[in-house]
Amino acid sequence: MLHGHNDAVNGKYILGWSENPDTADDAARMEIPQRVLLWHLNYHPDGGQMFYPMEQQPFVVPVAVPGDDLALERIVALWCDGSRGLYIHPGIWHEGVFPSTPAQSFRDRQGRVHARVSCNIAQEFGVFLNVPLHPA
């Protein structure tokens, strides 16, 4: 599995899975995932957020246009080659960064006020977002 749920698990947060969590096998050999299944997006109304790859390797960030009427068809995955960071303006729906490599480290900076508006995609729309981790 990839990262974890929004509930803290041993100090970590699960953002998504590499396969359906109902059929995931924790004992299975971890390979480089081809996708991440996301259950959540959020935005920060009072400040932006910046992600910078420390190893300068490719990564993916799901985003959607501002507004409280989030629609699945308006969500896109930005593929970044890792040569520079990504700044997300206030109000832009997004989730964390997902590396296209087995492991990566990122600098993450946000405004001093950490207000967050969240949408549980799984509950609201009854689906997981299938985000490819490699360009098409």
* Assigned domain for 70 exists: yes
Residue 112 sits in a domain of what CATH number? 2.60.120.480
The residue count for the chain = 136
The reported pTM is: 0.81
Q: How many domains does the chain have?
A: 1
> Which tens digit of pLDDT belongs to each residue from 83-106?
999 999 999 999 989 999 888 899
Domain with 126 in it: 33-132
Asked if residue 13 belongs to a domain, the reply is no
18: in domain: no
Domain contains 26: no
Distance CA 33, CA 38 (A): 13
Tell me: pLDDT of 125 over 70: yes
What is the reported pLDDT for 52?
Answer: 96
Neighbour count for residue 25 (Cβ, 10 Å): 8
Instruction: Count CB-CB contacts under 10 A for residue 10.
Output: 5
Question: Within a domain: residue 94?
Answer: yes
Q: Is the predicted pLDDT of residue 46 greater than 80, yes or no? A: yes
Mean pLDDT of the chain: 84
| 9 is a domain residue | no
Q: For the chain, report the end-to-end CA distance as a whole number of angstroms.
A: 22
**Contact by Cβ (8 Å): 14, 7:** yes
pLDDT of residue 72: 95
Question: Which one-letter amino acid corresponds to residue 120?
Answer: N
Q: Give a yes or no: residue 112 inside a domain.
A: yes
Per the structure block, which two tokens stand in for 44? 């920060």
In a domain, 4, yes or no: no
